[in-house]
Amino acid sequence: MKFNKVLDNCKIYEAGKPIELVVREYGVDTKDIVKLASNENPYGTSPKVTKKIQDISKNMFMYPDDSMYELKEALANKFKVTSENIVIGAGSDQVIDFLVKAKCDENSKILMSKTTFAMYEIYGRQAGAEILRTPDDQHNLEQFEAMYKEHGADMIFLCLPNNPLGECLDTKDVYEFLEKIDSETLVVVDGAYQEYAAFKDSKKRIDPADLINKFPNTVYLGTFSKAYALGGMRTGYGIGQVDIIKTMYKLRPPFNISTLSLAAAIEALKDEEFVNECIKLNFDEMKRYEEYALNKGFSYIDSYTNFITLKFEDKYISKEVAQNLLERGIIIRDLTSYGVNAIRITIGSEEQNTKVFKVLDEVLDELKK
């Protein structure tokens, strides 16, 4: 059977391996598995959210409020925009899909960093667009500018902070770059990990209202999957000028997030104290990984997220390290598919991280022999 030819060049997104797979394939007991591959919040969701879900579960037979009025109003108040500036998606991934479909076709070009979130390219190729990547793994705005001047671009993706590496540009530098971009080029600023970056360094903080007002050709992306610990609820959002948002609504299917997802996101926004405590614990534990890497003699990327990238250079092969950890029940992310000899580890709880260090010591000692 023949299918759309643009799909011939599309890769399948590789999600972090689920706990169930490790149980099946390696016989590891569920209680002994530590999953730190998908950048989930290890402290779980707010107890207030859990209670809300229990209360509203009796309404699961009903469709959700498709206007998403309460959630959009809550986000509008938080970010000092209007509800007309907001679109809700099944994760921010779906908003990326809307944006690419709205802007790109087989004659389009999309510019992004060499190593960044895989779905930018996947959605771009689904639209038939040409993918342009900068030479450096991390975001280098001089390279972005040079490639933009040479090749042009219909869309640009800036992942701030960047997944899967963890680095983050200063807002001042981002704004200076955006001033050089034509108003017909759509720039997507992916802030999936912005809560972490803003907590660690105010110079990295992106204000969505300020961004879209200064640069009407931009869209800011946010998610409830990371700091708000709602990865399983699949709720994200885009903030942009009204004309862009209206265009995305032409692509949005009805009831694209569930009744429970909607309720969970609304309630999560009410408990910022819980979120901030989780973020603080995240960076306290991240220091342990930084010290571990230094003691072992390999480098790490200074991270503004809830994960850290450990680079092995020529000391170890990341694929081997990741596989050996997996067989022992430690699920992390090997970055070989991104062309980087490194592993990405979600910052877990104190107990989880202590176990990771113990098992990683064993693996590195074995691979050294």
Do 326 and 211 share a structural domain? Answer: no
**What pLDDT, in 10s, does the model give residues 193-209?**
999 999 999 999 999 99
Q: Which of 253, 271, 289 is the last residue of a domain?
A: 271
Do 61 and 199 share a structural domain? Answer: yes
Do 58 and 30 share a structural domain? Answer: no
pLDDT at 102: 97
For residue 319, pLDDT over 80 is answered with yes
Residue 346, classed as helix, strand or coil, is strand
Do 318 and 207 share a structural domain? Answer: no
Residue 218, classed as helix, strand or coil, is strand
Do 291 and 263 share a structural domain? Answer: no
Q: What is the reported pTM?
A: 0.94
Q: How many domains does the chain have?
A: 2
Do 196 and 293 share a structural domain? Answer: no
For residue 312, pLDDT over 70 is answered with yes
Compute the half-sphere exposure of residue 115: CA atoms within 13 Å on the CB side of its CA: 19
Q: How far apart are CA 259 and CA 275, in angstroms?
A: 22
Do 309 and 195 share a structural domain? Answer: no
Residues 6+ apart with CB under 8 A from 287: none
Q: Which of 237, 271, 305 is the last residue of a domain?
A: 271
Do 266 and 151 share a structural domain? Answer: yes
For residue 136, pLDDT over 70 is answered with yes
Q: Which domain CATH number covers 260?
A: 3.40.640.10
Positive or negative torsion for Cα 134, 139, 143, 148: positive
Do 301 and 240 share a structural domain? Answer: no
- By residue range, what is the domain housing residue 291? 5-44+273-368
The percent of residues above 90 in pLDDT, for the chain, comes to 86
Phi-psi region of 14 (alpha: psi -120 to 50; beta: other; left: phi over 0): beta
Do 241 and 114 share a structural domain? Answer: yes
Q: How far apart are CA 310 and CA 115, in angstroms?
A: 15
Name which of 10-19, 109-118, 213-222, 268-277 the model is least confident about.
10-19
pLDDT band at 101 (very low <50, low <70, confident <90, very high): very high
**What pLDDT, in 10s, does the model give residues 275-293?**
999 999 999 999 999 999 9
**What pLDDT, in 10s, does the model give residues 252-275?**
999 999 999 999 999 999 999 999
Residues 6+ apart with CB under 8 A from 92: 190, 192, 221, 222, 223, 225, 236, 237, 238
Q: How far apart are CA 16 and CA 334, in angstroms?
A: 9
Do 133 and 62 share a structural domain? Answer: yes
Q: Which domain CATH number covers 30?
A: 3.90.1150.10
pLDDT band at 369 (very low <50, low <70, confident <90, very high): low
For residue 11, pLDDT over 80 is answered with no
Phi-psi region of 255 (alpha: psi -120 to 50; beta: other; left: phi over 0): left
Task: Please state, as a whole number, how many other Cβ atoms lie within 10 Å of the Cβ of residue 53.
Answer: 17
Q: How far apart are CA 347 and CA 362, in angstroms?
A: 19
Do 80 and 15 share a structural domain? Answer: no
